[in-house]
Amino acid sequence: MAALENIRKRGPLVAVIIGFSLLMFILGDFINKGNSLFSGDRNRIAEVNGQSINYQDYEQEVTQTIETYKQNNSLQSITESDKERIRELVWDNMIQKLLLQDQYNTLGIAVSSDELFDLIQGKSVDPMVSREPAFANQQTGVFDPSRVVYFYKNMNEDKTGKTKDYLLNLEKQVTSNRMIRKYLTMISKGLYVPKQVVETEFSRRNYLVDFDFVAKYYTDISDSSITVSKDELEKYYKEHKKKYEQKNTRDLAYVTFDVLPSHKDTLYTFNWINKVVNEFKTTEDIKQYISFNSDKAFDPKHYKKGDITNAVVDSFLFSNTPGAVYGPYFEDGSYKLAKLIESTSIPDSIQVKHILIAIDGKNIADIDKAKKVADSLKTVIEGGIDFATVAKEYSADKASLDKGGELGWVVEGQQVNRIPLAPFDELVNKNLNEIVTVSKEYGVHLFIKTAEGAKNKKIQVGFLERKIMPSTETYQKAYALASKFAGENRTLPKFEESITKQMLIKRTAPGLTENGTFISGLESPRQLIRWVYTAKKGDVSEVFELGNRYVVGTLADIKKEGIAPLEQVQEFVKTEVIKEKKAEILLKQMNSSLSGNIQTIAQTLKAQVQEAKNISFSSFQIQGMGFEPAVLASAVTSEKNKISKPIKGENGVYVINIKIITPSMNTEKLDLTVEKTRLLNELQGRVYPNPNYGDMGQVLNALKESADIKDERSKFY
């Protein structure tokens, strides 16, 4: 009873404690399960005008795109650089999608189901569909609509679901492309070039001047002869701050400790190749032996005299009989053995024609049925029916139909009409006009050799190659050096000092962005760039293993978005101030020499008279001057035969004299339709440079510039 009485007395306090505990439990559960505002921020990879892109959604899109890429290119895996490229592509697409969705909603832009069907399987196939490798005829590379139908009919047969995912993803892309084209078409159709603009632009392009000029260049005055004070630097900087706007970037300095094969590694490889010499000489299946033991797969190619780049090896093999072995010898970072497999006399080229019985999923459902059709056609041809007639009737290789199945002359290893199995290798040892049947997973070929070129002695060679690679011990030694350097030099001054003492090469990577993925010379440097954005100026990194290099870096400089401080851009400011002071000197020289004609002025200034022809307002450069907009503007507005005042340009100071003026034609009497079309096309091209590829041109750039985009990818990658 006493206990119950105590609880009653302290009831309000107990309620507060229990309530607070429950609140913390609920908040903790939300945070851990990703169901709260806190979690939303943690999983957000981007925010566009207040709309979030979730990390899981982004990663799912990346994974799906990677799978599609692998499927289209028959790959089991992809490189890290390809992954980075795909991540960037997905990122751009997701940002674009959010930016455009509001536009679509406002304008009522949509794609109906009937329209989508027509874009994929109908009469108005989208270029994205027709470019898909999966829908191309495997022999001709030409888009085949029946392949699209086949994929859709059989997508549920794929138990992995990859085919269905692939088609759904394609539909999404086609829909997106169509929406973009509609949106950009609306914008481009709303553009107009007023008559006055057409007339003005025509006049500007057709008003031409020829002039002589005298130049005194800034390089004529030594920089060391110009003194610049601190006050002058500060004054110029304050007046031109806009020139020094910068993005948020970092400057990295780093050293590398390259992992190179040691003498011990070389000796190990040398001993290995010597140990297998006898096996290599005596093995019965040399092709299989090479496949199991060589760093490079067996190449069945036949070589002519001189084809083997190593002249000594070439001479040895061509002067011996099959079974002869040369080596070991060293070449291109590897130890090698070469064995003469066969010596034969074969032509350099043969003339071939063929018929392809392709699996289309309808009339011919599988390889067995294709083989039966091919066997029937072979019998018919051998019975006397013209090959060309049969080819035109039955062959699926559209590229050779008009030529009666002719592939023409082919050489060893050459692929014709994308036929993966080169016909030369199948037919070179066959009799003329003998029909050879070759089966592949997509169909069956009937090949026939109709002629052959002159025969030459050729040899087939088996090369066993073992590349000299760094051992684990070599990697450990390189890491130890890098680790020692990083451990002993934890500040920027020590970092710089040790580089000098140890005579290492200091490398720099300026202007690294937070989501950057590239540093020249370094393999997959993303982890190093991430470190740069967590470090303080002057910090020295741990050791990073990037490919065959160990890297130690230091954050040399931090550049924050906005106007760069004077101390950061002082050298650039100094260069501009020196240029201004040189211009003042040259302007005085020019002004004191303005008497007489252009030739007299040149003599006084100890310069040459130069000539510029056919200069218009639309000219970008002036021959002999380069990019000089001030001179250009003066030239097209000056009077004929009148010496100009000195003109301060980008590269020097100039005096000009207009010799010839070719006035523009009177626009009132001209049909300016062509000019108007040119200007309109130019304007529309800025909106929509490539409609078939969904290129957004400057429209997307404008949408991005006006949007509030927060890029938070660096939290995850």
Q: What is the pLDDT of residue 140?
A: 62
Q: What is the pLDDT of residues 245-297, one digit of tens each?
A: 999 999 999 999 999 999 999 999 999 999 999 999 999 999 999 999 999 99
Q: What is the pLDDT of residues 214-227, one digit of tens each?
A: 999 999 999 999 99
Average pLDDT over residues 668-678: 82
Strands (E), 453-548: 455-467, 507-512, 544-546
Give the pTM.
0.67
Q: What is the pLDDT of residues 567-625, one digit of tens each?
A: 999 999 999 999 999 999 999 999 999 988 999 999 999 999 999 999 998 888 888 78
Average pLDDT over residues 180-196: 88
Residue 610 per-residue DSSP state: E
Domain boundaries, the chain: 2-33, 45-189+708-715, 208-246+567-662, 249-260+470-560, 263-346, 349-453
Q: What is the pLDDT of residue 12?
A: 53
What's domain 249-260+470-560's architecture?
A: Roll (3.10)
Beta strand 349-358 pairing with 406-411:
antiparallel
**Which of 290-299, 432-441, 643-652, 673-682 has the least mean pLDDT?**
432-441
Q: What is the pLDDT of residue 138?
A: 60
Q: What is the pLDDT of residue 612?
A: 94
Could you tell me the pLDDT band of residue 189, with boundaries at 50, 70 and 90? confident
Percent of the residues in the chain that have a pLDDT greater than 70, as a whole number: 89
* Mean pLDDT rounded to a whole number for the chain: 86
Q: 370 vs 11, which has greater pLDDT? A: 370
Q: What is the pLDDT of residues 308-351, one digit of tens each?
A: 999 999 999 999 999 999 999 999 999 999 999 999 998 888 88
Q: Is the pLDDT of residue 509 over 90?
A: yes
Average pLDDT over residues 560-573: 93
Closest to 66 in 3D by CA, of 52, 80, 50, 47:
80
Q: Is the pLDDT of residue 40 over 60?
A: no
Closest to 660 in 3D by CA, of 24, 297, 287, 211:
211
3-state secondary structure 230-278: HHHHHHHHHHCHHHHEECCEEEEEEEEEECCCCHHHHHHHHHHHHHCHH
Q: Is the pLDDT of residue 7 over 90?
A: no
Percent of the residues in the chain that have a pLDDT greater than 90, as a whole number: 51
Average pLDDT over residues 664-673: 77
Q: What is the pLDDT of residues 67-82, one digit of tens each?
A: 888 877 777 888 888 8
- Let me know if the fold of 249-260+470-560 is the same as that of 349-453: yes
Q: Is the pLDDT of residue 566 over 90?
A: yes
Tell me how far apart the alpha carbons of residues 617 and 202 are, in angstroms, rounded to a whole number: 10
Q: Is the pLDDT of residue 33 over 60?
A: no
Q: Is the pLDDT of residue 691 over 90?
A: no
Q: Is the pLDDT of residue 9 over 60?
A: no
Tell me how far apart the alpha carbons of residues 396 and 418 are, in angstroms, rounded to a whole number: 13
Could you tell me the pLDDT band of residue 410, with boundaries at 50, 70 and 90? confident
**Which of 78-87, 239-248, 400-409 has the least mean pLDDT?**
400-409
Q: 136 vs 346, which has greater pLDDT? A: 346
Could you tell me the pLDDT band of residue 415, with boundaries at 50, 70 and 90? low
Q: What is the pLDDT of residue 361?
A: 55
Tell me how far apart the alpha carbons of residues 600 and 594 are, in angstroms, rounded to a whole number: 9
Q: Is the pLDDT of residue 136 over 80?
A: no
Q: What is the pLDDT of residue 1?
A: 42
Location of structure tokens 């050293």: 255
CA atoms within 13 A on the CB side of 391: 22
Closest to 253 in 3D by CA, of 698, 555, 639, 618:
555
Q: What is the pLDDT of residue 348?
A: 85
Q: What is the pLDDT of residue 695?
A: 53
The alpha carbon of 554 is separated from its chain's Cα centroid by a whole number of angstroms, namely 28
Give the domain 349-453 fold.
Answer: Chitinase A; domain 3 (3.10.50)
Location of structure tokens 């992954």: 83
Q: What is the pLDDT of residue 570?
A: 94
Identify whether the C-beta of residue 24 lies closer than 8 Å to the C-beta of residue 16: no
Identify whether the C-beta of residue 104 lies closer than 8 Å to the C-beta of residue 176: no
User: What is the separation, in whole angstroms, between the first and last Cα of the chain?
Assistant: 62
